[in-house]
Amino acid sequence: MAIELKVPEVGESITEVEIGGWLKKSGEPVRKDEPVVTLESEKATVELVAPESGTLSQVLKPKGAVAKVGEVIGYLEKGGPPPAATGAPEKGKSQPAAPRPEAKPEAAPAQPRVMPAAQTALAEHHLQATDVRGTGPGGRILKEDVLREAESHAPAEAAGAGAAPKALVAQTTPGGVDREEEVVPMSRLRRTVAERLVSAQHSAALLTTFNEADMDQVMTLRKEYGESFQQKYQVKLGFMSFFVKATIEALKQFPALNAQVRDNNIVYHNYYDIGVAVGSGKGLVVPVLRHAERMSFAEVEVGIADFARRARENKLKVEELQGGTFTISNGGVYGSLLSTPIVNPPQSGVLGLHAIQERPVARAGAVVIRPMMYLALTYDHRLVDGREAVSCLNRIKGIIENPTRMLLEI
């Protein structure tokens, strides 16, 4: 019996998705709840899992095609392929043939456990699980294993990768030298990010103010309490929890930076849903820590670590990317020394963090070396005055430089 594979509801106001890639080929067996295809919306990438075990009998929408919510994109034959292999043991005459099915456990190595991120990587690089040697616990195949195998096939793929959704365009320079350009369609998420960033520049009056913070006290606290913190909460004490806490304290003093413009009104939020920008394989996403003002240091660190892991695996839910009131973006993890972050509409502010560098600074009339970080606060000048923005950033700086004001829950 054929089961329809339909595009599910993937979030409010989302009416269509783009087929990101089929994780199974037509004719391949599929287990119940195993991911079959990735779907890219303008906000996140989700996986459609098999409702029953069976065989993927038909693919109606190829990679890169657009499908509406509720549309059938493929069919699954319930019950799996005809039991050709299982019929052979039954031909064996008597009971001794019964233990023969124990040969099935031997088939397990041929189909090792594949982690979700690795499953996506297999489809992207047109590899089978049997082509990859798993290095994870119990022989599980990790994304790193797939990428390692893909690199070893790179020359072959470069020679004849006709199935990938990209094109190699040959150009001849005036000097007669041939060069190639690779044309790759933008993902739906990347297109949406681009549109929102351009929209923010056009619809808001954006201005950025800068300051710098001495990270010495925070680094001392992390060094002193980091081990006991990790033992108690099973998570490292990072910098982000300090900045989330400091930002909330500053926003309480300057509520316009936690507000938004709605029509001709200003909407002040009496809660603090802090978006934290994290990198994923498909671009930057901003999952939201709901009611971050109620969270402990440990809860903030656990939440951010979970977001980062699931962003890499394309496991973030659409609702986790919606409705933030303020955003923190840490470009310092990539080595950025200074930048002007762009506000995530309809929010009115975004805090940019940067790399920590030891620099000479003046302290009590003497030049000393301190671990310094530049801070950047971009704000919507339509509802935030310069005085408020500068004071808010200065408040964040003050808390970071004297973090003992905050209760460190260890």
Please name the residues in contact with 339: beta carbons below 8 A apart, sequence gap of 6 or more. 331, 352, 354, 376
Catalytic residue among 145, 216, 291, 385: 385
Choosing from 145, 202, 291, 381, the catalytic residue is: 381
Report how far residue 43's alpha carbon sits from residue 11's, in angstroms, rounded to the nearest whole number. 9
Residue 285 structure tokens: 């996403």
Distance of alpha carbon 351 from alpha carbon 208, whole angstroms: 10
Burial bucket for residue 84 (CB in 10 Å: 0-12, 13-18, 19+): exposed
* Burial environment of residue 220 by CB neighbours within 10 A (0 to 12, 13 to 18, 19 or more): exposed
Q: Is 33 a catalytic residue?
A: no
Parallel, antiparallel or unpaired: strands 66-68 and 54-59: unpaired
| DSSP SS3 for 7 | coil
Query: Measured on CA atoms in the order 46, 51, 53, 55, is the torsion positive or negative?
Result: negative
Q: Which two tokens stand for residue 345?
A: 């509409």
Instruction: Look at residues 272, 277, 276, 316 and name the one whose alpha carbon lies nearest to residue 295.
Output: 272
Give yes or no: 131 in active site.
no
- What span, in angstroms and rounded, lies between the C-alpha atoms of 40 and 368? 51
Q: How big, in percent rounded to 5, are the helix, strand and coil portions of the chain?
A: 35, 30, 35
Cβ atoms of 383 and 196 closer than 8 Å = no
Cβ distance 244 to 251 under 8 Å?
Answer: no
Q: Taking the mean position of all CA atoms in its chain, how far away is CA 379? A: 25
CA 135 to chain centre: 23
* Distances, alpha carbon 359 to alpha carbons 90, 243, 368, in Å: 77, 21, 8
Catalytic residues: 381, 385
